[in-house]
Amino acid sequence: MPISSGLNSEIIRVGIVLPEDKIQEITISWSAELELESNVPDLKAVQSISLVVEDDGISLKNLSNIATQSTITLACPDQVESLSTKYGFHIDSVVAGRGFHWEKRIEVDLPGKLDISIQDGFLKVINFVDVEAYVACVATSEMGSEAPSDLLAAQTVVARCWSLSLAEAKHLTDGYDVCNDDCCQRYQGTSYLTNHSLKAAIETHGEVLVYDEKVIDARYSKNCGGMVEAYETVWEGGEVPYLIPLWDGPEQKPGYAVDDFEMHYAYDEAYCSSKRFQKVNLSGMLGKVDVSGSYSRWEQVMTKADILKNLKKYTGLVWSSIDDIRIMERGPSARIKYLFLVGTDESGNKAEQMVKSEYGIRQMFSESFLYSSAFVIKNAETLGDDDHVVLRGVGWGHGVGLCQMGALGMALSHIGYKDILKHYYPGTRLTSLS
Ligand SMILES: [Zn+2]
Ligand SMILES: [Zn+2]
């Protein structure tokens, strides 16, 4: 039986500059050696173009002899073997962390074909790129370039599975398969590629995990907190046989993290425990746009005034106070599935509001985005009188599937990438598509 996947081609379409970024001018540059092809004549003579949105199309600011175009294409070879650091088309201002508090503009270098057009009065840049080149770039964009080779190999296989399964497919109606950001997988082109990460991509070429002869939906997050979460805690659609709760450590203990949060908070044998990273340069092993820290155990204080502000922002409700927070259901890793805010509304009546989903909870309890929904309220006893809420939590991200920091901990303990993958996706089989 042939292995099936969601992506029907060896080329993946990545949204780089999106209409929502509201960008009307970009500069793209390249080296003189790049084997360039374009629908615009005479580009071989220059190494840079500035593109500006005009009423009748895209104008090339530095090439005034060329008429405005509706679409501009630029292409260069993109086989994984032809890549190197900063190879391809350089764009100096691409949005990273779209919509989050860490949103910023970064520089990217992109291999393959760029398709540049106008939508709703703003530029839209889609990168058509070979899947193997894409996953090599994603693996280094997701983790730091100093990451050990078994971690890079594991991350490369996982990125390939995620891309080929296209299980989330959030952007198909926008004309591309994935975006370049945390919403899908973080992709910064060849900007940070190293020989090390290229080697991981070439050595695992075409390798995927399959279940029932289908490429798996390989979810992953930054730090599970010590127990990997079940798929159905975070997303709709029921159980997924290989995305199940498990202890992220050398042995499977009885019970779940949710059974005793304080005991779990003290558990430091996990592969993703900060104890394992005391002697390494963690920042060199994490992605480039991350804030520093280990994210395994944390405390966060949020004022009730800020929660009221979020309540208004996300639900439209205007309340005068928060009197209680009732946690209703948690998944095995202790991530909260839903809770109730209890308070007083505008007219002085008692009110209740459900906050649904791991994502919704992380939005509600932070000015930007809370590390995870695996938390307890430390001042629960005095919450009625306090003007703030103290959250005591574990992990960063949804916690389902591969735990990136746990995989790092495993690789640092000299566990090979095949065993790392077997640990996080039980019951799956590693095979090669080629
Ligand atoms: Zn996306
Ligand atoms: Zn973990």
**In the predicted structure, residue 139 carries a pLDDT above the cut 60:** yes
Dist. CA 231 → ligand 2 center (Å): 15
> What average pLDDT does the segment 374-383 reach?
96
Q: Write down the pLDDT at residue 291.
A: 53
User: Is 163's pLDDT higher than 60?
Assistant: yes
Of 277, 285, 291, nearest to 144 (Cα)? 285
Whole-number Å distance, alpha carbon 171 to ligand 1 midpoint, is 7
Q: Residues 88-113: what's their mean pLDDT?
A: 90
CA of 14 to the centre of ligand 1 (A): 9
pLDDT for the residue 67: 87
What's the pLDDT tens digit per position in 322-342? Answer: 999 999 999 999 999 999 999
- Least confident residue range of 191-205, 334-348, 399-413: 191-205
Alpha helices in 166-317 (DSSP H): 195-203, 231-234, 261-266, 282-285, 304-315
Q: Are 176 and 184 in contact (CB under 8 A)?
A: no
Q: Which ligand is nearest to the CA of 271?
A: 2
pLDDT, tens only, 333-370:
999 999 999 999 999 999 999 999 999 999 999 988 89
Average pLDDT, the chain: 92
pLDDT category, 90, cuts 50, 70, 90?
very high
Answer yes or no: is pLDDT of 23 > 50: yes
DSSP 401-432: SEEHHHHHHHHHTT--HHHHHHHHSTT-EEEE
- Residue 294 pLDDT > 70: no
Q: Is the pLDDT of residue 289 over 50?
A: no
Q: 223 CA distance to ligand 2 centroid (A)? A: 5
Could you tell me the CA-to-CA distances from 239 to 119, 172, 233, 374 in Å, in that order? 39, 25, 9, 20
Q: Which residue has better confidence, 198 or 309?
A: 309
For position 304, what pLDDT does the model report?
A: 97
Predicted confidence at residue 278, as pLDDT, reads 85
Confidence at residue 287, expressed as pLDDT on a 0 to 100 scale = 64
CA distance 377 to 393: 9
For ligand 2, the distance from its centroid to the CA atom of residue 102, given in whole angstroms, is 23
* Ligand nearest to the backbone CA of 20: 1
Distance 185 CA to ligand 1 centre (A): 7
pLDDT, tens digit (0-9, with 9 covering 90-100), for 48-76: 999 999 999 999 988 878 889 999 999 99
358 vs 140 pLDDT, higher one:
358
Q: What is the Å distance from ligand 1's center to 378 Cα?
A: 35
Q: How far is ligand 2, taken at its centre, from the CA of residue 237, in Å?
A: 24
Which segments of 159-309 are extended strands (E)? 178-179, 207-211, 214-215, 220-221, 227-228, 246-247, 297-303
Q: The whole model's pTM is what?
A: 0.88
Query: Around Cβ 246, how many Cβ atoms within 10 Å?
Result: 18
